């Protein structure tokens, strides 16, 4: 286990750039004194931000660059900037061993393209997947993948995603055998595409994996707490994720409108405020921030572009946890277990 993870921070990424990224790293450092950082970006701006965070300054090194990948850059454009941009240099630090992991709040497509080019996929994995934590009705969040890295997936990809998602869940929550399900239009065995049915059959035929495969789950049950890992292709997953986030914002806005519609409703808000604050906390994406590109030879974590200081700190914590528990080794071992049984789809 790595005792002192060193995290490369793309300080220029995100909607608010340096201020929030540095403050988030500082909060993570305050909570975990063993964390060390490589802060990548404009040195003048980073040093100015560090004036308010002496504890972070003492645990950090700055790697200067004034090149930034913007939200409008296409992956092909971003790749041309990979050697000199703050995002590219943060990822390269993981490749060279200067950092244990990289965290960026920048362009998702660019981050995926750069990470895959620099780090490559680990042995036995065909495609990396984007995994994130989503809120549920139970005490632990659920892991969902893929959320947009791969729009078209076959049974082999889905099976590999299941292995990677289960490994992630075991690290984050300590489950011995996380409950895994494939997202489908129904729970009956005959439902879904050929790829889904084929992946399900191979997962059922691989009982020695570190997971409890429980078949299919429908979209309206994702957040009910009935499983620990939900697996799908990136096209379906991205739509499902944005639908969930949109529904959460809708409920929050609807409650806000209802509680401000009259004097009586404002009084009702005061009475119910503890419950509404709990709901707000549970639905706040900053409390679940930190999507991970699983399947690469290195740890790269994507923070929301609009993440708060708390959100960035959570993304840093996720990155450090995956390094400390060696997510790469766990996935490789489980993929080898599949290959050894001969149950891996062709």
Is residue 337 assigned to a domain? Answer: no
- Residue 181 and residue 267 in contact, taking contact as beta carbons nearer than 8 Å: no
In a domain? residue 50: yes
Q: Which two tokens stand for residue 227?
A: 């499983």
The pLDDT of residue 60 is: 95
87-106 burial, b at 16+ Cβ within 10 Å, e below that, comes to bbbbbbbbbeeebbbbbbbb
Looking at the structure, tell me whether residues 148 and 262 fall in a common domain: yes
342: in domain: no
Domain count across the chain? 2
For 22-89, give the DSSP string: HHHHHHHHHH-TT-EEEEEE-HHHHHHHHTT-HHHHTTEEEEE--B---TT--HHHHHHTTTTBHHHH
My answer on whether 135 and 177 are in the same domain is: yes
| Per-residue pLDDT at 39 | 97
| Residues 139 and 100 both lie in one domain | no
What pLDDT is stored for residue 2 in this prediction? 46
- One domain, residues 155 and 288: yes
Beta strands in the chain (DSSP E): 6-10, 36-41, 60-64, 101-104, 129-134, 142-145, 179-183, 212-217, 229-231, 291-294, 299-302
Residues 132 and 254 in one domain: yes
pLDDT for the residue 248: 77
Q: Is residue 341 part of a domain?
A: no
In a domain, 334, yes or no: no
Q: Let me know if residue 325 belongs to a domain.
A: no
Question: H helices then E strands: how many in the chain?
Answer: 12, 11
CATH of the domain at 247: 3.40.718.10
User: 216 with 269, same domain?
Assistant: yes
Cα 216 from Cα 189, distance rounded (Å): 8
3-state secondary structure of 149: coil
100 and 187 together in one domain = no
Task: State whether 256 and 130 are in the same domain.
Answer: yes
Domain assignment of residue 38, given as a range: 1-122+295-307
The helix, strand and coil proportions of the chain, stated in percent and rounded to the nearest 5, come to 50, 15, 35
Q: Which residues contact 279 (CB under 8 A, 6 or more apart)?
A: 251, 252, 255
pTM to 2 decimals?
Answer: 0.85
CA distance 18 to 233: 33
Task: Return d(Cα 125, Cα 157) in angstroms, integer.
Answer: 8
- 105 and 138, same structural domain? no
* Residue 127 exposed, middle or buried by CB count within 10 Å (0-12, 13-18, 19+): middle
Q: Residue 47 — φ and ψ, nearest 5°?
A: -60, -40
331/272 Cα distance (integer angstroms): 45
User: pLDDT by residue for the chain (346 residues), tens digit each?
Assistant: 445 799 999 999 888 889 999 999 999 999 999 999 999 999 999 999 999 999 999 999 999 999 988 888 787 877 887 788 999 999 999 999 999 999 999 888 889 999 999 999 988 899 999 998 888 888 888 999 999 888 889 999 999 999 999 999 998 888 889 999 999 999 998 898 999 999 999 999 887 888 999 999 999 999 898 999 999 999 999 999 888 888 877 877 777 777 777 776 666 656 565 655 555 555 566 677 888 999 999 999 999 888 899 999 999 999 999 999 888 888 888 888 766 655 566 5
Q: Find how far residue 139's CA is from the centre of its chain.
A: 19
For residue 140, tell me if it sits in a domain. Answer: yes
Question: Taking the C-alpha atoms of 279, 281, 282 and 283 in order, what is their torsion angle to the nearest 10 degrees?
Answer: 90
Instruction: Mark whether 110 and 139 lie in a shared domain.
Output: no
Q: Are residues 115 and 238 in the same domain?
A: no
Compute and round to an integer the Cα radius of gyration of the chain.
Answer: 21
164 and 76 in a common domain: no
Residue 53: inside a domain, yes or no?
yes
- pLDDT reported for residue 272: 60
């Amino acid at each position: 286990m790595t005792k002192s993870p060193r995290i490369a921070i793309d300080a220029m990424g995100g909607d608010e750039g340096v201020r929030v990224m540095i403050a988030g790293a500082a909060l993570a450092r305050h909570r975990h004194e063993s964390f060390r950082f490589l802060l990548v970006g404009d040195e003048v701006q980073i040093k100015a931000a560090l004036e308010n965070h002496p504890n972070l300054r003492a645990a950090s090194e700055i790697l200067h660059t004034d090149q930034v990948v913007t939200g409008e850059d296409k992956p092909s454009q971003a790749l041309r900037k990979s050697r000199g941009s703050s995002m590219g240099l943060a990822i390269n630090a993981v490749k060279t061993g200067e950092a244990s992991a990289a965290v960026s709040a920048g362009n998702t497509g660019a981050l995926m393209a750069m990470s895959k080019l620099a780090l490559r996929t680990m042995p036995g994995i065909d495609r990396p997947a984007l995994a994130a934590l989503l809120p549920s009705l139970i005490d632990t969040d659920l892991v969902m993948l893929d959320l947009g890295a791969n729009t078209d997936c076959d049974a082999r990809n889905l099976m590999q995603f299941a292995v990677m998602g289960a490994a992630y869940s075991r690290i984050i929550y300590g489950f011995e055998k996380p409950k895994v399900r494939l997202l489908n239009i129904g729970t009956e065995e005959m439902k879904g595409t050929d790829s889904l049915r084929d992946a399900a059959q191979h997962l059922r035929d691989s009982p020695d994996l570190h997971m409890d495969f429980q078949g299919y789950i429908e979209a309206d049950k994702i957040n009910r707490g009935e499983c620990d890992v939900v697996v799908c292709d990136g096209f379906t997953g991205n739509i499902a994720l944005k639908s969930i986030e949109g529904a959460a914002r809708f409920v929050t806005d609807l409650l806000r409108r209802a509680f401000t519609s009259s004097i009586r409703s404002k009084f009702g808000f005061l009475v119910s405020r503890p419950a509404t604050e709990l709901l707000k906390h549970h639905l706040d994406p900053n409390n679940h921030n930190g999507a991970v590109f699983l399947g690469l030879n290195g740890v790269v974590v994507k923070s929301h572009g609009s993440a708060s200081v708390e959100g960035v700190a959570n993304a840093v914590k996720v990155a450090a946890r995956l390094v400390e528990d060696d997510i790469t080794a766990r996935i490789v071992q489980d993929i080898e277990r599949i290959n050894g049984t001969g149950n891996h789809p062709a």
